[in-house]
Structure 1
């Protein structure tokens, strides 16, 4: 129980999403840990082994129930990185729901394979392997890309994005909702 409890506690510290999404940066990063998590930590202070074990059993049980009810979300660093990749291209408020600055690895580009291509208003609409949809926003000419082609999308100036298929000339692109 000790090792899994430590992993659970670490994951909760990184991924507990108890603060409201509208909170400002400083209020979120300085917010106290959720009570359900601090209750588990307080068990460590008990000196009697039987009382400490009973405390851990009770609080970890409560924590597990909260996770099942989806009141608490538990994520490790890899899951957070994957979530950041999945949100690449969306304009989101500056809310630190993924932890402190030491984990603030900003995603600057993604690489994927094109799953499908369709016609859009100005050019093509690309559906990537993960289901993300991106639309060409300029009228740069290109032969119709094929499913299975590699696409790289990177941040560009002033909040825009550039796409490049199989290393060819870039074009402007924007993220669509899934």
Structure 2
């Protein structure tokens, strides 16, 4: 699943940019003709890539956030029960609202952490916590 996302993220102009060495390792595997060696290559290459994706340390903007803390630059309502938040580093997050939460304000400090089931938790000013989805950087 990660391999397909990586290949999709690298299509087009993004492929011309200098790639993260972890991505280069994955992309080198299809060139191996022996099936067992190719599978071993993928197994070895995907582990560090998966770890980097889960802790947010990948540089490719479509694969993870730039940082796991920061300040709110802007907010905007997005339909029913959603709030779009952009941080000063450009990362965009979609927060799920559940009721009477105190909404993040411009300048609020935030801390973001990875949840157990591939979700994200977005904590504002050491208080209110929201379930969030990373949307990437603006174009």
Provide the TM-score with structure 1 as the length reference: 0.43
Residue 159 in 1 paired to residue 118 in 2?
A: yes
- Describe the SS at the equivalent of 1:27: helix
For 2:111 and 2:61, locate their aligned partners in 1 and report how far apart those are by CA, in whole Å: 12
**Aligned with 1:125: secondary structure?**
strand
Higher strand share: 2
**Equivalent position SS for 1:143:** coil
CA 1:140 to 1:20, structure 2 compared with 1: closer, same or farther past 3 Å? same
Do structure 1's residue 27 and structure 2's residue 41 form an aligned pair? yes
Q: Does 1:114 align with 2:72?
A: yes
SS in 1 for 2:128: coil
Alpha-carbon offset, residue 130 of structure 1: 1.3
**CA RMSD, 1 decimal:** 3.7
Query: What secondary structure does 2:117 align onto?
Result: helix
Q: Is the 8 A contact 1:163 1:173 kept in 2?
A: yes
Which of the pair has more CA radius of gyration?
1
How far residue 142 of structure 1 moved from its aligned partner, in angstroms, is 2.3
TM-score by length of 2: 0.53
Could you say if the C-alpha distance between residues 127 and 25 of structure 1 is closer, same or farther in structure 2, counting changes exceeding 3 Å? farther
Distance 1:157 1:30 in 2: 23
Q: Return the alpha-carbon distance in structure 1 between the equivalents of residues 82 and 58 of structure 2.
A: 24
Name the one with the larger helix percent: 1
> CA deviation digits over 1:81-128, x for unaligned, max 9?
xx816568947xxxxxxxxxxxxxxx9x81111111111232211101
Distance apart, 1:177 and its partner CA: 3.0
Deviation per CA, 1:56-90: give whole Å up to 9, x if none. xxxxxxxxxxxxxxxxxxxxxxxxxxx81656894
* Map of 1:84 onto structure 2: 57
Aligned residues: 98
Verify: 1:139 aligned to 2:98, yes or no. Answer: yes
